[in-house]
Structure 1
Amino acid sequence: MTFRRAIAFCFAVAAALCFAAIAAPEARAEAMGIALEGFPYPYPVDFLPLTLEGEDLRLAYMDVPPAGPPTGRTVVLLHGRNFPSSYWAPTIKALAEAGYRVVVPDQIGFGKSSKPGFAYSFDAMARATIALLDSLHVDRFDLVGHSMGGMLAVRLARAYGSRIDHLVLYSPIGLEDYRFSVPPVTDEELARRERALTADGYRKQLMTNYALSLPPAAIEPFVQLRDEIMESGEYPRWLKSFVASYQMIYTQPVVHEIPLIDRPTLFIMGANDHNAPGRPFAPPELRDRMGQNAALAQSLAARMANARVVVFEGVGHLGHLEATQRFNETLLNFLGQ
């Protein structure tokens, strides 16, 4: 090859590479899997094999040992519907440093756990949680349930109360029977609305529905996570699971059972928290009456054998993130009684 031809060849290659760089689409990272593969949790995650409704499943969980002088006690943390159990990170740290063992499951249908196709129930979730604790040789425990996890905590307290030393219902939903205000909604309508919800719409929904005193950047990892899951090839299965969780909350109220709980119980409520699943579907004349959660907690506690309520002023639905120090102190003081 002559020098002139070599120079021409180099120019041709350079031009081709420049064209390819302009014409080729930008490389994109692979979408998040519906079991949150690659999404970091604050502590190691293990899996318990389970069989429910004939399906072989895996229940994800974190089992965090005490970081301080051990108390010999175990605290179980139950997550809400819109967040994986990783959001418990500051609470886990505080409890572990205080000497507690902390067990934090992702319920079946959520987080890193399996997403089955059958209808969900709090009874099945309670059995799965107890199966996990049995496998870890935990007999007695303290129980903290947030939001939807509060409804599950009620069912656990009713079915397995003899194993629970302290019960914390933290910003629980289910303090009213939503069926009295909200008409039934089909799976198809729920799925349509969820598919149509953009990242910006979801961000605004969390900030508004949960009355958060956090900056929007604090919830951005969870907004981004949902957005990435929507790109997954298994998104239809995730969506079916998410819809099933709404129907469980709507059709399986626990409010009528709360006054029957005899365990020492603490409600931790945000004064600004008026979260009420299904409110957008309620008639206008009923919509504004829903979600008076702090007042509902006070009324229910007055009918219980051993319960009290702490209300955080200026705080919404995520008190353990909005007022972390106060939340941790309140929780540890109650567990230490």
Structure 2
Amino acid sequence: MGAREVVVSERPMPEDGAVRHRWVEVRGIRLHLAECGAGVPLLMLHGFPQHWYAWHKVVALLPEGYRIICPDLRGFGWSGQTTRGYDMDALAEDTLALLDALGLERVGLVGHDWGGQLGFRLCLRAPERFSGYLALNITHPWPRHRAVLPNLWRMWFTAFVEYPVLGRAVLRHWPGFTRFLLRHQVADPAVWTEADLAEYAAATSASAAAAQSLFWQYVLHDIPALVRGTRRRQRLTVPTLLLGGERDNVVVPSMLAGSEPYADDLTVRLVPGAGHYLPQERPEEVAEAVRTFFAGRV
């Protein structure tokens, strides 16, 4: 990509004694990893406005026998920030290069929100690298237009994020906006502690340029592809379980239908009473899905 690494966050990390931290250099940047356990490798990709710590409740509930790998995506958390490289194809290249650097030929994959979008891209691009995919709070790549169009208004908040000058200013200088999104997009705002809200607001301020670029690249590349039906020429062969929140006010249940012609094995399941942050709202159910879905998968 030729994207020069400009900074790695020096903020203190949230306390989680169960994980070990390290940095791996791939494609000219340093990606931060939080890891724990040993056994079957499981790669967990966070969404916005979060980082590796998004998984801490789920990880604490998983049994032994898994090697849990939670990277910070390029520009987020404690990974290197660059001037470019935030489109889904570039992030997929980062992830595949990370697996190569770790010596992992095949892993189980879990993704939430933007990490869920990335997970689908990875499974379509390199299906041989993934034994299964657990996607959370995200549409599959073939949503029905008649389900998406009436719900576009739900993405109102992206207008404050995606534009280069406005988005960076809002995310960097208006922590209340991040706090509002986190509270607004769960079924019960009490699932967030004050420490959670403060951490993700501070993290978003530090990664404002990366977050804005991520949204803007989606506007430039992925929305046109969605309109053209580009992904309809691709088929999902990785076994996939898609969990949605029954009360998700961003990705509503009606947007999860319609994958049947494009996927060999994709199951959609709704979590009653849950919103857009299943790892935070229902970590027990996410951990149980990991245990059952990946049981026996290499």
Query: In 1, are the aligned partners of 2:50 and 2:200 still within 8 Å (CA)?
Result: no
1:79-137 Cα distance to aligned partner (Å, 9 max, x none): 00211111201222333x24111111101111110111125121121121122212221
Counterpart residue type for residue 295 of structure 1 = S
Q: Paired residue for 2:174?
A: 197
Paired residues, number: 271
List aligned pairs for 1:249-264, cutoff 5 A: 249-253=218-222, 256=229, 257=231, 260-264=235-239
Work out the CA distance in 2 between the residues paired with 1:179 and 1:196.
Answer: 32
CA drift of 1:230 comes to 8.2
Counterpart residue type for residue 134 of structure 1 = D
List aligned pairs for 1:97-246, cutoff 5 A: 97-172=63-138, 186-195=163-172, 197-199=174-176, 201-208=177-184, 210-215=185-190, 218-228=192-202, 238-246=207-215
In structure 2, stretches of 5+ residues that fail to align are 1-6
SS in 1 for 2:241: strand
CA drift of 1:204 comes to 2.5
Instruction: Specify which of 319, 324, 327 is matched with residue 278 of structure 2.
Output: 319
Counterpart residue type for residue 40 of structure 1 = P
Instruction: Specify which of 47, 53, 64 is matched with residue 80 of structure 1.
Output: 47
CA drift of 1:227 comes to 4.9
Counterpart residue type for residue 207 of structure 1 = R
Query: In 1, are the aligned partners of 2:140 and 2:256 still within 8 Å (CA)?
Result: no
In structure 1, stretches of 5+ residues that fail to align are 1-32, 67-71, 276-290
SS in 2 for 1:273: coil
Question: Does the alignment pair 1:62 with 2:34?
Answer: yes
Change (3 A) 1:229 1:212: same
Change (3 A) 1:191 1:332: same
Query: In 2, are the aligned partners of 1:61 and 1:105 still within 8 Å (CA)?
Result: yes
Work out the CA distance in 1 between the residues paired with 2:61 and 2:201.
Answer: 30
Instruction: Specify which of 47, 66, 77 is matched with residue 23 of structure 2.
Output: 47
Change (3 A) 1:113 1:195: closer
Work out the CA distance in 2 between the residues paired with 1:298 and 1:227.
Answer: 33
Flag the structure with higher strand content.
2
Work out the CA distance in 1 between the residues paired with 2:201 and 2:111.
Answer: 26
Query: In 2, are the aligned partners of 1:301 and 1:308 still within 8 Å (CA)?
Result: no
Counterpart residue type for residue 132 of structure 2 = H
Work out the CA distance in 1 between the residues paired with 2:117 and 2:10.
Answer: 24
- TM norm structure 2: 0.79
Work out the CA distance in 1 between the residues paired with 2:102 and 2:169.
Answer: 40
Query: In 2, are the aligned partners of 1:265 and 1:308 still within 8 Å (CA)?
Result: yes
Query: In 1, are the aligned partners of 2:171 and 2:204 still within 8 Å (CA)?
Result: no
Pairwise CA RMSD: 3.0
Counterpart residue type for residue 91 of structure 1 = V
Q: Paired residue for 1:332?
A: 291
Work out the CA distance in 2 between the residues paired with 1:330 and 1:227.
Answer: 29
Q: Paired residue for 2:4?
A: none
Work out the CA distance in 2 between the residues paired with 1:107 and 1:242.
Answer: 10
1:275-325 Cα distance to aligned partner (Å, 9 max, x none): 1xxxxxxxxxxxxxxx43x22223225642111111001000111221222
Work out the CA distance in 2 between the residues paired with 1:166 and 1:110.
Answer: 25
Counterpart residue type for residue 166 of structure 2 = E
Residue identity (%): 20
Counterpart residue type for residue 124 of structure 1 = A
Query: In 1, are the aligned partners of 2:241 and 2:268 still within 8 Å (CA)?
Result: yes
List aligned pairs for 1:285-296, cutoff 5 A: 291-292=251-252, 294-296=253-255
Question: Does the alignment pair 1:247 with 2:222?
Answer: no
Query: In 2, are the aligned partners of 1:169 and 1:265 still within 8 Å (CA)?
Result: yes
Q: Paired residue for 1:90?
A: 57
Counterpart residue type for residue 309 of structure 1 = V
Work out the CA distance in 2 between the residues paired with 1:77 and 1:110.
Answer: 14
